[in-house]
Structure 1
Amino acid sequence: MADLYRSLDASAREIRLVSVEAGKRDEVNCKLGTVSLDGQLPRYESVSYCWGDITKKSSIVVDGQPMDVSKNAHAALMRIRDPNIDRTIWIDAICINQTDVEERGSQVSNMHLVYHRATRNLIWLGEDDELVAPALDTMRIILDEARLETDNFRTFFGEVYDDAGHVPPSLSGFMSHFEVEPFLKLLARPWFQRLWVVQEAALSPLNVGYCGPHEFPMLDVFRAAAFLYSKRNHMEN
């Protein structure tokens, strides 16, 4: 594995990007390249996920060499891989030499730029289950409520983060006509529990969520969660 990674020039703020070859169900094939954050960058997308159990591994191929990555990283790569065209991404499991402690420490200082300069941040929340589709349905209902209450989100922050604790009369029936538990289960997935991955989303210009076959704007998730929790708090008060 040592000959796969050449040393990065920290003074030039070099990082690696990986081109994930098009495919569908065959093994994941990638090619590594080096670029400088101080130079002209190609279009790339960052990947945000939880490592999960690092003792459970799956194999991919990088520059013709086999590489083991965590099961969750492998699942993320399989999901975001395009069936027709190669996709250039940054993902820590491949783009940082995980056996080089010095490099890992050096690359941490670049993370804010890596995520900020990506065209999109692809967030892998995990595999599908029977609650994901109902969770996304609930999310859309909450967003519809939020649009009505906040003038199509124009007053969203004032409404959601108002400390007065006032509950508008129109909210008297809020949450009485839909089941919130599936959406709460989605928000309880490990990605939402890790501070550093949420910070990655905050740095990124655009966040796209993936959960099994489902794809959705993460802004919708964040808005629905903030609106739901603010109204629940108002009602409890």
Structure 2
Amino acid sequence: MASTYPYSKLPDRSIRLLRLLPSRGRESPIHGKMICCPLPHDILEDGLYEALSYVWGSPDDPRCIHLQDDDLLGHGTTRPSSGVLSVTRNLHEALIRLRHAHVDRILWIDAICINQADIEERNQQVAIMAQIYATASRVLVWLGEDNGDGSEEALDEILAKAKETPDSKMKTSESSSNELIALLQRPWFRRVWILQEVAAARSILVMCGARTIDGHSFHLGVTAALQDVEQEKPPAAMRLMQDTFLRRYHLPADQGRFALGIAPLPDLLDSYMTSEATDPRDKVFALIGLASGDLVGSGLMADYSLALGELVKRLCSFCFGTALTVGCFGVEEQVALLRGTGHVLGRV
């Protein structure tokens, strides 16, 4: 039995990239090589990799992929490592779809390129994820395999809607509306991290099973199709996808971090409070890369050693000032009680 892939320590200001090796057979095992890439580097500045946006999915029924070190850039470890890495079924299915038949494909995928067992590394990598997605040549949105709910047909309908003109516009049929709703109810649209991944993207390719559609057409088609669907609002990610090609990214000299600068953090928390995360701390960490303003000294930067209750206290102090006292209680301290001058202000 193959041993587990041993991650080497990642140097400061570096990321890993996956070189996905080709195969002509869908059933062939997944093989890849890990590239250690310092920041900045030409491979990043030139956008020679793609970043995957997806949902990890259920940990049940995991699959194995085969990895080994590749010192392609001359900055890797002196001792190459190899082994297997366990990934979720959803990610494994994405890798099968992403794998080319004859050429390598260079990707950034969080579950593979970040050593999830190393909290210090996770903190460092999460802090630069907005930059990682913004530097990628393209963000690949993986909605999952076709599961018989008509999702692939929905993508065909979305593309047709995107190509409509005022003279050729037709009302979306009931069956197509149901397929569209099923597609938009997939877990990807509820995940909090996708907000940053979409907002940072240079360009987007949406994938569902064997179907693909560019992000601009996806946005146009979904918006047009939903006009015929009563009481169905566009997912939160659609608003960010709309501005993908117009948004400017900058790193203010006094801010010390890569900033998308979309809105102040309190506004983002209010707008996207219903987004989901397996780890409740991610409902804050995932929005830091979107936020404007100086957050470096806020105590809110990604730190997975920080207890949820302490994070909530820091968040409340940041949003409301130090005149409040904050008490956290309940299961995993997910209830915060805010007190001002003798009055309970609310429950979050």
TM-score range, shorter chain: 0.7 to 0.9
Separation in 2, partners of 1:179, 1:88: 35
Paired letter, 1:140: L
Query: Which amino acid in structure 1 is aligned with residue 22 of structure 2?
Result: A
Q: Indicate yes or no: 2:151 matched with 1:132.
A: yes
Q: Are positions 1:180 and 2:198 aligned together? A: no
Q: Does 1:148 align with 2:166?
A: yes
- Contact residue 207 and residue 219 of structure 1 kept, 8 A: yes
| Secondary structure in 1 matching 2:156 | helix
Q: Distance in 1 between matches of 2:163 and 2:4?
A: 52
1:36-185 counterparts in 2 under 5 A?
36-41=38-43, 43-63=48-68, 64-130=82-148, 131-145=150-164, 147-148=165-166, 174-175=171-172, 179-185=176-182
The code of the aligned residue for 1:200 comes to E
Distance 1:227 1:102, change over 3 A: same
Q: Which moved more, 1:38-47 or 1:24-33?
A: 38-47
Q: Partners of 1:178 and 1:54 in 2: how far apart?
A: 32
Greater RCO, CA 8 A, separation 6+ = 1
The aligned counterpart of 1:22 is 22
Whether contact under 8 Å (1:138, 1:180) holds in the other structure is no
Aligned length: 211
Q: Which consecutive residues of structure 2, in runs of 5 or more, have no partner in the other structure?
A: 69-81, 232-348
Asked if structure 2 preserves the Cα contact closer than 8 Å seen for 1:138 and 1:182, the reply is no
Query: Deviation at 1:66?
Result: 1.2
Matched residue type, 1:89: L
CA drift of 1:101 comes to 1.0
1:178 to 1:77, Cα distance in 2 relative to 1, 3 A: closer
Answer with 1 or 2: which has the greater Rg. Answer: 2
Distance 1:66 1:91 in 2: 16
Q: Give the TM-score normalised by the residue count of structure 1.
A: 0.79
- The structure with more helix, counted as a fraction of residues: 1
For the 8 Å contact 2:138–2:205, the answer to whether it is kept is: yes
1:52, 1:3 → 2: CA distance? Answer: 21
SS in 2 for 1:181: helix
Aligned partner of residue 143 in structure 2, secondary structure? strand
> Could you say what secondary structure the match of 1:179 adopts?
helix
